[in-house]
Amino acid sequence: MNNNNSNIEPPDNDMLPEYDFTGGVRGKHYQEYRQGHTVTIHQADGTTVVQHFTMAEGAIMLDPDVREFFPNAEAVNHALRTLIHLIPQEKI
């Protein structure tokens, strides 16, 4: 009998027992991430690749308290379209 469980894939969105976030601080780098971030990859051949990531144009990041009420783009767009009707239009 083979006791190798390497063929068993964990279900999506499940945290494995070996993940240890003890002492972690949620949102510690939140503000910096919004400004863009740099990832440095040290490759096995000794070379280094540096990539800078920024949010795509038009992308927004919701604060955690807002995200509780608007968990996806559809919910956000629906709420904003409702508010648009409440904004007075300028008369030309």
**pLDDT per residue over 30-57, tens digit each?**
778 778 888 999 999 999 999 988 888 8
**Annotated domain spans of the chain:** 30-84
Where residue 25 falls among pLDDT bands split at 50, 70, 90?
confident
- Is residue 66 a contact partner of residue 54, using CB atoms and an 8 Å limit? no
Both tokens of residue 90? 């300028």
- Identify how many contiguous H helices and E strands the chain contains and give both numbers: 3, 2
DSSP conformational letter for 88 = P
Query: If residue 83 lies in a helix (H) or strand (E), which one and from where to where?
Result: helix 73-84
pLDDT band, residue 11 (cuts 50/70/90): low
